[in-house]
Chains A and B, each alone.
Chain A
Amino acid sequence: MSTMNLTVHVWRQKDARSPGKMVPYKVSGVSEHASFLEMLDVLNEQLIDKGEEPIAFDHDCREGICGMCSLMIDGRPHGGQAGTTTCQLHMRKFKNGDEIYVEPWRAAAFPVLRDLCVDRTAFEKVQQAGGFVTANVGSAPDANSVPIAKEAADRAFEAAACIGCGACVAACPNGSAMLYVAAKLTHLHMLPQGQPERLHRAQAMVNAMDAAGFGNCSNHYECEAACPKDISRDTIALMNRDFTKGTFAHRPRDTKGDGAG
């Protein structure tokens, strides 16, 4: 098994208020079979041995599904291997002697908390604005009572595969969250269950996206290239259509209530 020695330049920042800087570290004896995060583990162990504080980075499942890990590696979200999260990127993609640059997501809506960890609360706000079907537990009909064409279910699934990591935002020169929002809208709008609230949902989520500080789309499609789940930019077209339709057709929800006493 071959091992490599690398120079890793890492963004170090004490907290949200402090300034940060890139710091170079030598890391030795990295196995080609290690994942990128395991390489950082090895580096952190070497730092602790020297009495230096380890690098903070977000991660959890380490199998590409939780969406917690979030690194700009050599300027590309998740390192640029197609359809791959940072935790699934393996060191066999690098070579001995490489210099690697590691930064946190860079986006106005995702402030840095410490080192490589960012605050993605803005995504939560967008989701809460409308990323759901209003269906209380207990109210559901039999699951086979509404047939759904396989193609529609497949398209819904492909959009729903979004892991909410934020790579699309980090990749976008405008810091736009359109692919993230469009993925959620497409997931629900491909299904019959998503239809009743469709236009309201598109309006609410897009407005929340703007309010959360994300930029707009100017058709670079960097988001699609960076997405570890290969979500298609076609979803954005669907979102735009629903948003526009909603602008004309949508009435704000009547909350006055005409209760019958």
Chain B
Amino acid sequence: MNLDARIPAGPIAEKWSRSKFEMKLVNPANKRKHTVIVVGSGLAGGAAAATLAELGYNVACFCFQDSPRRAHSIAAQGGINAAKNYQNDGDSIHRLFYDTVKGGDFRAREANVHRLAEVSVDIIDQCTAMGVPFAREYGGTLANRSFGGAQVSRTFYARGQTGQQLLLGVYAGLSRQIAAGKVKMFNRTEMLDLVVEDGRAVGIVVRDLVTGKIESHSAHAVVMATGGYGNVFYLSTNAKGCNVTSTYRAYKRGAGFGNPCFTQIHPTCIPVSGDYQSKLTLMSESLRNDGRVWVPKNKADIGKRPDQIPDEDRDYYLERKYPSFGNLSPRDIASRAAKEQCDDGRGVGPGGRGVYLDFRDAIKRDTEDKVREKYGNLFDMYERITGENPYKVPMRIYPAVHYTMGGLWVDYNLQSTIPGLFVLGEANFSDHGANRLGASALMQGLADGYFIIPYTLGNYLAGVNAAQLADPKGAAFKDAETDVKGQIDKLLAIKGKRSVDSFHRELGTLMWEYCGMARNKEGLTAALSKIPELREKFWKDLTVLGGAETLNQSLEKAGRVADFLEFAELMCRDALVREESCGGHYRTEHQVEGEAKRDDDNFCHAAVWEYKGAGNEPARHIEPLSFENVKLATRSYK
């Protein structure tokens, strides 16, 4: 497997501009002869589709929802980082770069992260020009807030709906290109396989989710921006439809999968309330700007009403343990600290799996109205879900699966190990290392889609003969279609007793227990024997009612869960081999006084997995990481 990252030469601050100049261009007349497939319509995919169409390429864009505006980027709440330094508080491109590398616990590629920080400033300009209504100061300039892992205010926001507003900006641009005939949009259409011919990605096989029809589409290049795989845990903050299918199928066709065990647990989610629970809801990290996290100091106080526990009997454990970052400690650290308090028997709420996020002091300081203006929609959402009023009673929160840093391996140009297959946004592994900082996912999605892929894809297409478009009736497409149809028929033919959801829940419980917030050799080994057993049961006892050629939501879910059942094994395998703790990957064997203990001598690399066929163990390759601009150091937020 060729893992040449193709990092441009030169000083870090010049790599991207130098690389942009050195990249080959496609002249305007030739651009319109090229066709590009974009899978996914979120911030990364939607931005890529619209921007490539603006440049003149013919784009076909696919999403499984009924409109591109519903991609899961829409649900991002808190904000988007950019090194504008509008607050004059010491921010710079280099500082954003530094914070992101450090926040990722030194497991991301320096050159990619620096480029991300560089283009961050252009993103805010572009979004504003598209009419994104960012929060403003009275004088008319843009407002900022703080987020975890940073000591500057560099987060731009639109109340608690930043992802929505950014995605609507992207959707507007995409709609303009659809109207112009440059993007052909396929809604309610799911990618089920990648087609590779002569070693290059040349198309995809999709299923029309309304008619059930299987179809092939060919192109000169395929761009995948299909999000993360957090739903392998069943319960996560992801939308119900989020899945690993497209990236996993690409992996099975030869794309290397990078760091699958790097998953992020978000510290502030509404706790689980019962076994009917279908998803977990995030309460934005921005709340930690003003909310204080605590549990009772004494176990005896657990059942008491929070307002009956005086300050001296409260343990504001983040402020105690990490005085310089306090409640704004990074997500992995805040999550583990919450688990630690609950494991110690001082958790609150049902099952003792919760901690308080308290706004009492902020309301006293700033008034309830001020707090409402900043976080009103989040407070309302909390009240609708729990039936409790967070202006009066502290919120109860608990960590939940939120984001996946792992994804398909890509080089500096965002190309996977399959030439012609490019991967953007959460679907790739590139910028966040072992832990993502808050407000950086939106930044990465838009950076990839608006500002990076338009250059790097051109560089690839300049070397592709536009006259040679793969034949969607050719052998490679027919084989892939046969595989896809074969799997659908197989799922429908099992006719067992158990529903798809029952298997998905069981897998989720298993993954949360053995491959969740804390992992160890014993648990991961157990998971590696339990997952194949569950998979076997799935293929024996699943029931999917209804047919293939109709809108059949059970069938859609069954295909996704079938892939999760294979992918889960890859995650555990990756977690087992990585004998260190870094970022969101916490191995209980590797710690110093409860803090993660990295092993740079043996694991300062990205692990990239290569599929070796059904029934064979995948091969683990490595891309060594070198740190020339940020000194490798133990992360400290104390």
Contact = CB atoms under 8 A, between A and B. Distances in A.
B274 A150 contact: no
A141 B129 contact: yes
A83 interface: yes
A132 B172 contact: yes
Closest 5 CB pairs of A and B: A147-B140, A132-B172, A140-B129, A140-B125, A157-B133
B240 A60 contact: yes
Nearest to B498: A48
A114 B551 contact: yes
Nearest to A14: B550
A67 interface: yes
Given A15-B550, A33-B273, A62-B240, A124 B67 contact: yes
A238 to B, nearest CB: 15
Contact of A60 (B72, B133, B176, B450): B72
B210 interface: yes
Interface stretch (A188-196, A212-220, A241-249): A188-196
Given A62-B240, A68-B66, A31 B276 contact: yes
Contacts, number: 220
Given A117-B551, A161-B161, 15 more contacts: A14-B550, A45-B502, A58-B66, A60-B239, A67-B74, A68-B66, A84-B384, A89-B384, A114-B550, A120-B67, A135-B173, A137-B50, A140-B128, A144-B141, A191-B133
Contacts of A146: 128
B116 interface: no
A51 B499 CA distance: 10
A30 B276 CA distance: 9
Contact of B74 (A1, A52, A61): A61
B532 to A, nearest CB: 25
Given A1-B274, A61-B239, A65-B161, A133 B131 contact: yes
B328 interface: no
Contacts of B19: none
Interface residues of B, number: 81
A137 B54 contact: yes
Contacts of B54: 136-137
Nearest to B270: A63
B85 to A, nearest CB: 11
A101 interface: no
Contacts of A90: 384-385, 387
Contacts of A4: none
B139 interface: yes
A120 B125 contact: no
A88 B270 CA distance: 13
A156 B124 contact: no
B75 interface: yes
Contact of B385 (A44, A88, A135): A88
A37 B553 CA distance: 14
Contacts of A135: 126, 129-130, 173
Contacts of B451: 137
A66 B239 contact: yes
Classify chain A: how many residues form its interface, as a range: 35 or more
A120 B66 contact: yes
Contacts of B127: 143
Interface in A163-215: 163-164, 187-188, 190-191, 193-194
Contacts of A142: 125
Interface string A119-144: 11101100111011111111111111
B454 A156 contact: no
15 contacts: A1-B274, A41-B276, A45-B501, A53-B545, A61-B240, A124-B67, A131-B172, A132-B130, A132-B172, A132-B173, A140-B129, A143-B84, A148-B140, A153-B133, A156-B131
Interface stretch (B277-285, B464-472, B570-578): B277-285
Contact of B137 (A83, A132, A150): A150
B135 interface: yes
B553 A56 contact: yes
A58 B550 CA distance: 15
Contact of B501 (A41, A59, A65, A187): A41
A interface SS class: loop
Contact of B179 (A63, A128, A188): A128
Interface stretch (B29-37, B163-171, B390-398, B596-604): B163-171
B138 interface: yes
Nearest to A85: B384
Nearest to A114: B551
Contact of B551 (A35, A113, A138, A141): A113
Interface in B231-288: 239-241, 273-274, 276-279, 281-282
Interface centre among A132, A147, A149, A161 (most CB of B within 10 A): A132
A34 interface: yes
B45 to A, nearest CB: 14
A156 B501 CA distance: 41
A148 B142 CA distance: 9
A194 B141 contact: no
A60 B70 contact: yes
B51 interface: yes
Given A61-B75, A143-B128, A161 B164 contact: yes
Given A66-B70, A66-B72, A157-B165, A54 B554 contact: yes
Nearest to A155: B133
A67 B128 contact: no
Contacts of B72: 60-61, 66
B351 interface: no
Given A149-B140, A150-B137, A160 B165 contact: yes
A87 to B, nearest CB: 9
Nearest to B124: A143
B136 interface: yes
A194 B281 CA distance: 34
B315 interface: no
A143 B163 CA distance: 18
A1 B124 CA distance: 47
B564 interface: no
A127 B543 contact: no
Interface in B132-179: 133-142, 158-159, 161, 163-165, 168, 171-173, 175-176, 178-179
B301 interface: no
Interface in B450-496: 450-451, 454
